[in-house]
Amino acid sequence: MDILKDFGVNPLLLIGQIINFLIILFLLKRYMYRPILDIIKKREEAVKEGIKNAEEGQKKLEEAVVKEKEILSNARAQAEKMLISAREESEELKGQIEETTRKDTEKMVEQAKERVREEARQAEERLIRRIGEIAISLLEKSMIGVFGKKEQKIILKKAITELGKQDLL
């Protein structure tokens, strides 16, 4: 005990700080860690859904290509029996089908990607705001009994300013 006093350490204050740290650690683990994991799971599900939609779009494109090949086979069989003008019309139809299918697929994939990007951005903004709020709340609660009201207000104003600079509030 004399060694602690020689270094200017107050054992009761040290024990109190350890207990405060453990309480804050428990609160952070219980009330921040789980919501963050929930947000990450939701984001992961949204990304998986976007990938699934993109895969479905790819499958539709492949089906369309298969259907296109079948149509072309039939068109070729009929083209042999028809005049040259009928051949030109079937080629034009082929091009239109390919273009429409490609545009539709590209549009679906892009929409899915954009939706995933937007949802991820919104989730990140909500998470950042929530972390800032919790940090201020924890700071307020941890200063009670340690600092006077005036010092608490000064520290809180400074912390809010710093968090505001970092876009956490």
How far apart are alpha carbons 36 and 23 in whole angstroms? 19
Asked if pLDDT for residue 168 goes beyond 60, the answer is no
How far apart are alpha carbons 138 and 168 in whole angstroms? 14
Task: Report phi then psi at 3, rounded to 5.
Answer: -65, -45
Q: Which residue has the higher pLDDT, 169 or 60?
A: 60
DSSP H helices, the chain, are 2-6, 11-28, 34-79, 84-143, 149-165
Q: pLDDT, tens digit, for every residue of 32-90?
A: 888 888 889 999 999 999 999 989 989 998 998 898 888 888 888 887 887 788 889 98
Domain that holds residue 144: 2-165
Q: How many structural domains compose the chain?
A: 1
Q: pLDDT, tens digit, for every residue of 89-120?
A: 989 999 999 999 999 999 999 999 999 999 99
CB burial class (10 A; 0-12, 13-18, 19+) of residue 104?
A: middle
Q: Give the pLDDT band (50/70/90) at residue 29.
A: confident
CB neighbour list of residue 169: distance below 8 Å, 6 or more residues apart: 129, 132, 133, 136, 160, 163
Average pLDDT over every residue of 138-163 = 84
Task: Report phi then psi at 6, rounded to 5.
Answer: -60, -35
pTM over 0.75: no
Average pLDDT over every residue of 119-136 = 88
Lowest mean pLDDT segment, chosen from 1-10, 42-51, 72-81, 127-136:
1-10
Instruction: Label residues 159-168 b or e (16+ Cβ within 10 Å = b).
Output: bbeebeeeeb
Identity of the residue numbered 157: K
Question: Helix 84-143 crosses helix 34-79 at what angle (to 10 degrees)?
Answer: 180
